[in-house]
């Protein structure tokens, strides 16, 4: 019977639980506590899916090595399978005792992984549970640490969270939500609202951004904040994203047929969607089925997505652009990345984040906007500003070189039929 993981030589689940039970007996003897850390690598699936299990395995070996480096000799590290690891931390009294260990792990796994000439960047999410407060046997402690890990995943990843009993209720709610999302897909409960994009120079609607809503049978209209995080964790974002793209392209084609032929449609693309090997085929199929001119479709990716495993992203984007569609960078200026990616990526438009226009009369903010506009012009890229809410912003932006805008000053996201009335009003 195997007790050690063949790849990393770490204890497997069976051996890890056995070692935890031994530590529990010692803790009772010496009146100390034990912490169980449950770790999950953020972004590892992307490496496995895009570069193959050979490279993935090498990364996992290096992760095991770094975990040994980050922990004490008395700690036990285990590999649960896939990209999940556990650490048993004995002889602790409270959460303060595990924070230095968790911090070392977080810092170690943030460092780049060098494998076969590639540099990879991963982070790790950590859930923790304590004996005796959160369970009296290994299985329960690991289950509760895993529950805490899910809370980390839901709240930005890359940090430590300690279990609390209220998380169980949240876990039940989460399971219910996941089940309802499956039904929502089957029953076409997802609808798309559209926020107009305006050229203030000509006072015309030049585009619409498609934004998903969930028409929930009991809770009414739900916004992305209520369901996108769990959709991404469960992978349901892929079929949801496909459904949204199909609805948006059909609607844009319908508007074209009504005479609004210059209208473009912007649809957000998540990191998980961008990882899908069949993404390009899916987009091509929808364009063919809806008969939408490819140049009328703009896919938006965020700056952080652009920088994550850039080689693969560049390859995917080039294939998408080859179909004739356009690519924009959403929330531009909020990332921590080098601007050098702008010359490598096949980008058509930068979308300046709303955070840059909150104090537009401030000289520093207006100087940043002018710099972004200058950069875009030098690279032959378009610019649009999102989150325009005041007349002051609307009047100041053209002086800084920005004529394309969207925001609540012009319109909130609306159902398609209401947008049609706006289009007709602007046309007259």
- pLDDT tens digits, one per residue of 293-322: 999 999 999 877 766 666 778 889 999 999
Q: Looking at beta carbons, which pairs linking 220-225 to residues 24 or more positions away fall under 8 Å?
A: none
Show the domains of the chain with their CATH numbers: 13-163 (3.30.70.270), 174-426 (3.20.20.450)
> pLDDT value at position 119?
79
Q: Under a CB-based contact definition with an 8 Å cutoff, are residues 383 and 404 in contact?
A: yes
Whose CA is closest to 270, among 339, 206, 316? 316
> pLDDT value at position 2?
78
Q: What is the mean pLDDT of residues 79-100?
A: 93
Q: What is the mean pLDDT of residues 187-212?
A: 97
**Confidence check: pLDDT of 339 > 80:** no
> pLDDT value at position 214?
97
- Tell which wins on pLDDT, 1 or 344: 344
**Confidence check: pLDDT of 267 > 70:** yes
> pLDDT value at position 94?
86
User: Tokens 């001119």 map to which residue?
Assistant: 293
- Could you tell me which residues come within 8 angstroms of residue 277 by beta carbon, excluding any fewer than 6 positions away? 49, 50
pLDDT band at 415 (very low <50, low <70, confident <90, very high): very high
Q: Looking at beta carbons, which pairs linking 46-52 to residues 24 or more positions away fall under 8 Å?
A: 46/271, 46/275, 46/308, 46/309, 46/312, 47/120, 47/122, 47/309, 49/275, 49/277, 50/275, 50/277, 50/309, 50/312, 51/118, 51/312
Q: Looking at beta carbons, which pairs linking 93-101 to residues 24 or more positions away fall under 8 Å?
A: 93/32, 93/33, 94/33, 95/35, 95/128, 95/130, 95/162, 97/35, 98/35, 98/37, 98/128, 98/160, 99/160, 101/37, 101/70, 101/71, 101/72, 101/75
Q: Under a CB-based contact definition with an 8 Å cutoff, are residues 194 and 208 in contact?
A: yes
pLDDT band at 199 (very low <50, low <70, confident <90, very high): very high
User: Tokens 């998903």 map to which residue?
Assistant: 212
pLDDT band at 291 (very low <50, low <70, confident <90, very high): very high
Encoding tokens for residue 77?
């590290």
**Confidence check: pLDDT of 353 > 60:** yes
3-state secondary structure at position 330: strand
Q: Under a CB-based contact definition with an 8 Å cutoff, are residues 247 and 241 in contact?
A: no
Whose CA is closest to 263, among 223, 314, 204? 204
Q: What is the mean pLDDT of the chain?
A: 91
pLDDT band at 170 (very low <50, low <70, confident <90, very high): confident
CA distance 254 to 270: 25
Q: What is the mean pLDDT of residues 200-205?
A: 95
> pLDDT value at position 308?
62
Whose CA is closest to 196, among 417, 418, 413? 413
- DSSP for 196-223 reads EEEETTTTEEEEEEEEEEEEETTTEEE-
pLDDT band at 363 (very low <50, low <70, confident <90, very high): confident
- DSSP for 56-87 reads HHHHHHHHHHHHHHHS-TT-EEEEEETTEEEE
Q: Under a CB-based contact definition with an 8 Å cutoff, are residues 422 and 411 in contact?
A: yes
pLDDT band at 337 (very low <50, low <70, confident <90, very high): low
Question: Of 191-195, 233-237, 266-270, 409-413, which gets the smallest average pLDDT?
Answer: 233-237
**Confidence check: pLDDT of 202 > 80:** yes
pLDDT band at 418 (very low <50, low <70, confident <90, very high): very high
- Tell which wins on pLDDT, 271 or 187: 187
Q: What is the mean pLDDT of residues 50-71?
A: 90
- pLDDT tens digits, one per residue of 277-289: 899 999 999 999 9
> pLDDT value at position 234?
85
> pLDDT value at position 338?
56
Q: What is the mean pLDDT of residues 82-88?
A: 95
- pLDDT tens digits, one per residue of 135-157: 889 999 999 999 999 889 878 88
- Tell which wins on pLDDT, 43 or 83: 83
For 87, list phi and psi in degrees, rounded to 5: -135, 130
pLDDT band at 206 (very low <50, low <70, confident <90, very high): very high
> pLDDT value at position 36?
96
Q: Under a CB-based contact definition with an 8 Å cutoff, are residues 131 and 24 in contact?
A: yes
Q: Under a CB-based contact definition with an 8 Å cutoff, are residues 88 and 17 in contact?
A: no
pLDDT band at 51 (very low <50, low <70, confident <90, very high): confident
For 420, list phi and psi in degrees, rounded to 5: -60, -45
CA distance 326 to 206: 14
- Tell which wins on pLDDT, 154 or 127: 127
User: Tokens 């304590």 map to which residue?
Assistant: 130
Q: Which residues pair with 209 in a beta bridge?
A: 195, 266
Q: What is the mean pLDDT of residues 80-108?
A: 93
CA distance 133 to 174: 24
3-state secondary structure at position 294: helix
CA distance 63 to 80: 13
Q: What is the mean pLDDT of residues 59-74?
A: 94
Q: What is the mean pLDDT of residues 349-359?
A: 90
Encoding tokens for residue 155?
């709240």
> pLDDT value at position 309?
62
Whose CA is closest to 314, among 297, 324, 327? 327
């Amino acid at each position: 019977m195997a007790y050690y993981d063949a790849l990393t030589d770490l204890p497997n689940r069976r051996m890890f639980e056995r070692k935890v039970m031994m530590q529990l007996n010692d803790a009772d003897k010496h009146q100390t506590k034990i912490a169980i850390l449950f770790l999950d690598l953020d972004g590892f699936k992307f490496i496995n899916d895009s570069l193959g299990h050979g490279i993935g395995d090498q990364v996992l070996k290096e992760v095991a090595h770094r975990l040994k480096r980050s922990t004490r000799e008395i700690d036990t590290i285990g590999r649960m399978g896939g990209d999940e690891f556990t650490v048993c931390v004995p002889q602790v009294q409270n959460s303060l005792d595990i924070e230095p260990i968790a911090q070392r792990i977080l810092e170690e796994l943030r460092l780049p992984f060098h494998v076969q000439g590639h540099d990879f960047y991963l982070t790790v999410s950590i859930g923790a549970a304590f004996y005796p407060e959160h369970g009296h046997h290994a299985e329960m402690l690991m289950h509760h640490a895993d529950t805490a890990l899910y809370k980390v995943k839901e709240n930005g990843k890359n940090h430590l969270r300690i279990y609390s009993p209220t998380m169980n209720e949240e876990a039940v709610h989460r399971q219910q939500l996941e089940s309802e999302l499956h039904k929502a897909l089957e029953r076409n409960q997802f609808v798309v609202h559209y926020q107009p994009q305006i050229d203030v120079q000509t006072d015309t609607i030049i585009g619409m951004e498609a934004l998903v809503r969930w028409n929930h049978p009991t809770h009414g209209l739900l916004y992305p904040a209520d369901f996108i995080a769990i959709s991404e964790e469960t992978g349901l974002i892929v079929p949801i994203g496909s459904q949204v793209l199909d609805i948006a392209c059909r609607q844009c084609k319908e508007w074209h047929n009504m005479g609004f032929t210059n209208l473009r449609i912007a649809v957000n693309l998540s990191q998980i969607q961008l990882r899908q090997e069949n993404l390009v085929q899916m987009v091509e199929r929808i364009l063919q089925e809806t008969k939408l001119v490819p140049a009328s479709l703009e896919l938006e990716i965020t700056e952080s997505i652009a920088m994550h495993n850039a080689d693969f992203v560049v390859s995917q984007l080039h294939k998408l652009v080859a179909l004739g569609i356009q690519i924009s960078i959403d929330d531009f200026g909020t990332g921590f990345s080098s601007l050098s990616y702008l010359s490598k990526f096949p980008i058509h438009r930068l979308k300046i984040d709303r955070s840059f226009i909150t104090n537009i009369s401030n000289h520093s903010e207006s100087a940043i906007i002018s710099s972004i506009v200058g950069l875009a012009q030098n690279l032959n890229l378009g610019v649009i500003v999102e989150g325009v809410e005041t007349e002051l912003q609307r009047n100041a932006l053209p002086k800084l070189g920005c004529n394309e805008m969207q925001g609540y000053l012009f319109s909130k996201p609306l159902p398609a039929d209401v947008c049609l009335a706006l289009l007709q009003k602007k046309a007259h």
